[in-house]
Each structure stands twice: as C-alpha cells, then as structure tokens.
Amino acid sequence: MGRARTLAQVYRRFGEVDAAGTSPLYERVAVALSESGEALRAIEAAPARKRHPTVILAALHDLALAGRAPALAAAYAAADGDAAAGAAIETLLRMTDSVVAVAVRRRTRPDETGRCAVLYPAIAEAARRVGANAIGLIDVGCSAGLNLNVDRVAVTYGRGQPLGDPSSPVRFSSSIVGDRPVPAGAMPEVVARVGVDLDPLDVTDADDARWLRACLWPDQPDQPERGARLEAELALAATAPPLLLAGDAVEVLPDAFARVPADALPVVTTTWALSRFSLESRLRFLQRLDEAALGRAVAWVSAEGVGVAPAIPTLGDRRASGHSIIGLAVFGQSVLRTEAVGRCWSRGRMLAWLAGS
Ligand SMILES: C[S@@+](CC[C@H](N)C(=O)[O-])C[C@H]1O[C@@H](n2cnc3c(N)ncnc32)[C@H](O)[C@@H]1O
C-alpha cells in the first residue's frame, strides 16, 4: 500500500507539475494513472528504477507508434485527453509485459537539441589549437550518435552568427549569454565518426528510431517542430551512419582510437554522459585518453555538469547549479592542457563562450 501511494504521488506530481502547461495529454494520462490502483500495480511489475512516468509514458508511446496500441495512438493523434487516459490504462493492463519489456530494454533520451551548438565551436577550437587538417570524432555515451553529425548541421548563434553547413536540413539555434561571440572558425574535414555506448541506438534500425520518436511527448507546444527536426536528424544520420561500438567506454576506447586515421586528430566528445560513470570509471576514461596520446595528439570536448568532467576546471561554480561547463582538453607530448571554454544551459540552448582567441 505504502509503495503504491508513493508511486501514485509520483505520477500525480508528474502530471500536475512536470507535464502541466506543457503536455495536456501527459498531464491527463499521468493523473489518471495515479488514480488507478490497477494501473499502479501494473507499473510496479517494472523494476523500481524503471517506474518513472517518463519511462512508462515513453514505453506506452512506443507501443502506440508501433501499431500495437491503436486506441492510444488514435487518442494521441486526436489530442483527446480523456480517451488517452482510458486507452493508456487499458494498454497498461492488457500489455503489462510488453510495457515493462520496453521500459527495461530502453533508456529515455532527453530531447533538448543544443548539443551541436555547444560542440561545434569547441571542436573547431581544438583542431585549431592542434593545427589539425582532419579530425575523427569519437562520441562517448553516444546514444543514437546524433552528435557525430555536428559538422553536417546548421547552427545559428545569438542574433545570427552562423556555423556549420548552412544548407543542412537540420538547423539549431543557441542564444548567447554575455558579449563574447563564439569563434567563427569552421572545423576541418571529419574523416571518421565513431559512437561508443553501453547500448547504442542505430538510426537505421526501425525499432531504435521509433524509440527516439517515442521519447518525444505527443503534444508539447513545439511538438511539430521537434518531431520534424528529429526526422531530419534521423534522415541525415542515415545517409552516413556512424560506426557504433557497444560496450563500456573504458574497454572500447582503444578500439575507437584505432578507427581514426593516423593523420587525423581524434576528438573525443562527451555530452551529459559522464555523470553515469562511477568516479573510478571517469578517471580510467581520462587515463585512456592519456594512453592514446602517447602516439598522437588527442582532444576531448565535454559538456557536463559542473565538476563532473575530471580535470576540467569548474570556474568556481557550485555543483548542481543547473548549468554545465564546456571543457576542452588537449593531450599531447605528455602534456595535458585543460580549459573551461564556456558555460551552457538547457543542454546548449544558451551558451556563454569564455575562451580567448
Ligand atoms: C544521459 S545519456 C547521454 C546521451 C547523450 N550523450 C546526450 O547528450 O544525450 C548517457 C549515455 O551514456 C551511456 N553510458 C553510460 N555508462 C557508459 C559506459 N560506461 N560506457 C559507455 N557508455 C555509457 C548510456 O548508455 C547513455 O546512452
């Protein structure tokens, strides 16, 4: 009883606080689930860490998109909250095992889309500092590897400063905080794209791509744009799918470095990934970069919460203060140079560039 009440409170709060004003459908569905003892018992069939509303609602959405929960799909398409609430409960009770299986199998992916806006100038800066004419990208904790197309998207900063490919079908924008513009330099040619993840998503796999769509909420105010941008990102990624290496980054990184041609600078990127690593793993990750730099220069660009990326300065900011630090580390000739080149907010929707030229 106690556990069910707690779960009920979690769902009610999610509906009334997190979804309210953003997604009327998820508000209505989450509150309805919180009020249904049967639904809560079905959710309790999932392991505790997989019972959160974002996971269960994404799993239900996935089944709707897969054509396995037609009433729920129709209710979402019609933006009919009452019908969606009824259909969500019905689906959860009828297909408890399937909902739980999706929830257990998958990790939700947040959809803030400023990552490339953060990565582009920092990667270009890394290449400039090393004097590299070609780079190989290695994204660690890559999920679907969308960061690996950073050179193939168009980014607009502040009032219009462009970077990237202006003709790209994938377009991002990021507000600039402060008065320092991001460096205008283009990044050199990308000659290798390698994604590393415990469980990478393959954009050319229908189930994996559907899961990315399922993680979007069905009726957020800017859902049409978000949905269209995700489709454009998936289509762009599918034209040159990255090499995906599945496994623990600490184990897999040597193989990833080996995939970058000798005349290219390997640039490792991490965006909001290292908090999932134990402290010991973060240090071993750093050690792997150091080892790879015995034979060649190596760069690491990070966008991580304050104090999460080892060796990257925190600028005196408090941990968990809601923003992230953009780090740039260059390993070469037994020297490690690390710098915080910026701060960012909302996964890169706003950024402050700090580094001098
Ligand atoms: C919070 S997600 C971040 C994903 C993506 N970089 C982003 O910006 O949204 C963390 C990712 O790191 C992966 N991950 C966690 N521990 C890992 C490890 N030891 N080695 C490789 N990947 C790991 C997870 O599978 C997950 O896809």
Residue with tokens 């999920």: 143
Q: State if residue 141 touches ligand 1 by the CB under 6 angstroms criterion.
A: yes
Instruction: Please tell me the distance between residue 272's alpha carbon and the centre of ligand 1 in angstroms.
Output: 8
Q: What is the pLDDT of residue 224?
A: 82
Going by alpha carbons, the residue nearest to atom 1 of ligand 1 is 273
Q: Looking at residues 100-109, what average pLDDT do you find?
A: 94
Q: Which residue among 105, 139, 230, 276 is best mutated to probe the pocket of ligand 1, counting the most ligand atoms within 8 A of its Cβ? A: 276
C-alpha 234 – ligand 1 centre gap (Å): 19
What separation, in Å, do the N-terminal and C-terminal C-alpha atoms of the chain show? 61
Which contiguous run of DSSP H or E holds residue 121?
helix 115-130
The distance of Cα 26 from the centroid of its chain, to the nearest Å, equals 21
Query: What's the pLDDT score for residue 302?
Result: 98
The per-residue pLDDT of the chain, averaged, comes to: 94
299-319 tens-digit pLDDT: 999 999 999 999 999 999 999
What Å distances lie between residue 290 and 93, 246, 306, 309, CA to CA? 52, 22, 22, 15
The whole-number pLDDT of residue 5 equals 64
CA 302, 306, 311, 312 dihedral sign is positive
CA 168 / ligand 1 centre spacing (Å): 26
Mean pLDDT of 126-155: 96
Order across the sheet with 134-140: list the strands.
161-164, 154-157, 171-176, 350-353, 335-345, 324-332, 298-305, 265-271, 134-140, 189-197, 243-246
- Test site for ligand 1: of 107, 115, 143, most ligand atoms within 8 A of the Cβ: 143
CB of 277 within 6 A of ligand 1: the answer is yes
The tokens describing 216, both together, are 């979007």
Question: Is 144:203 a contact under the CB 8 Å cutoff?
Answer: yes
